[in-house]
């Protein structure tokens, strides 16, 4: 397969039309090789416009990588700065963490499935990326012990925006997640002002697999 042609087509046919025009992001997608974070049996569809199953030894784990255009749009919306400290919940194959670490000063990523966390570490190491800290465990439980972050991103969905994580945004910080109980779900950007106020901006409708132990919407019983 001609990966470079497929990568070019992904950028020009999927990502630019989805209003991702930041040249830094587009250049990054050329540099960090997505096919290196996809299992060998799926490399021929590594650039397809869909969520890809995460496989270990060619067996599905039940988890998915975001589509390329969703990854790119997240990166653009977060406006990551070189001094930023970043937290990702849901490591997956490590590809999003690899992209994030090219933009930020520090990246911590938390993965609840140990075998997927091990896969991410392997993928990052083989691609020469050694500045990402992959943490085992539930992101919603582990995050509060890690301090404040300039950027928090969810690589999966929750029924409600996670208030516990929003409390750990630094002044001037940004959070991006996908929330909702029924499709279509809403990608939402939350910003914390330097005085501590939160502002919420709905971005677009999409879908993502729910993250384990994410906050749930209340169930009403009559």
pLDDT in tens, 64-122: 999 999 999 999 999 999 999 999 999 999 999 999 999 999 999 999 999 999 999 99
pLDDT at position 82 is: 98
**What is the full DSSP assignment across 83-99?**
T-EEEEE--TTSHHHHH
Q: What band does 218 get if pLDDT is binned at 50, 70 and 90?
A: confident
What residues does each domain of the chain span?
3-206
Alpha carbon 30 to its chain's center: 18
What mean pLDDT value characterizes the chain?
96
The three-state secondary structure class of 160 is: coil
Q: Comparing C-alpha atoms, which of 71, 84, 65 is closest to residue 20?
A: 71
Q: Comparing C-alpha atoms, which of 68, 102, 79 is closest to residue 191?
A: 79
* CATH code assigned to 3-206: 3.40.50.150
Q: Name residue 185's beta-bridge partners.
A: 206
Tallying the residues shown for the chain, one arrives at: 222
Mean pLDDT of 147-162: 97
Mean pLDDT of 11-31: 97
pLDDT at position 221 is: 67
Mean pLDDT of 26-45: 96
pLDDT digits (tens, 9 = 90+) for 167-200: 999 999 999 999 999 989 999 999 999 999 999 9
Q: Which stretches does DSSP call E strand in the chain? A: 52-56, 59-65, 85-89, 106-111, 132-136, 149-158, 169-179, 185-192, 198-206
- Asked if residue 222 has pLDDT above 90, the reply is no
Q: What band does 220 get if pLDDT is binned at 50, 70 and 90?
A: low
pLDDT at position 80 is: 98
The tokens for 67 are: 């589509």
Alpha carbon 77 to its chain's center: 12
């Amino acid at each position: 397969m001609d990966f470079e042609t497929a990568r070019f087509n992904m950028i020009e046919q999927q990502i630019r039309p989805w209003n991702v025009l930041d040249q830094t992001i587009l250049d990054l997608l050329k540099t960090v090789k997505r096919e290196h974070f996809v299992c060998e049996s799926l490399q021929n569809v590594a650039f397809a416009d869909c969520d890809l199953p995460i496989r270990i030894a060619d067996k599905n784990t039940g988890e998915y990588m975001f589509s390329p255009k969703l990854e790119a749009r997240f990166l653009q919306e977060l406006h990551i700065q070189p001094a930023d400290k970043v937290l990702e919940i849901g490591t997956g194959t490590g590809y999003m963490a690899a992209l994030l670490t090219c933009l930020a000063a520090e990246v911590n990523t938390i993965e609840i499935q140990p075998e997927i966390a091990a896969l991410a570490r392997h993928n990052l190491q083989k691609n020469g990326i050694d500045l990402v800290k992959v943490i085992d465990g539930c992101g919603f439980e582990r995050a509060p012990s890690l301090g404040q972050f300039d950027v928090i991103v969810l690589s999966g969905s929750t029924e409600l925006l996670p208030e516990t994580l929003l409390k750990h945004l630094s002044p001037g910080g940004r959070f991006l997640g996908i929330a909702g109980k029924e499709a279509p779900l809403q990608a939402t950007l939350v910003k914390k002002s330097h005085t501590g106020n939160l502002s919420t901006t709905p971005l677009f409708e999409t879908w993502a697999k729910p993250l384990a132990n994410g906050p749930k919407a209340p169930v009403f019983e009559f």
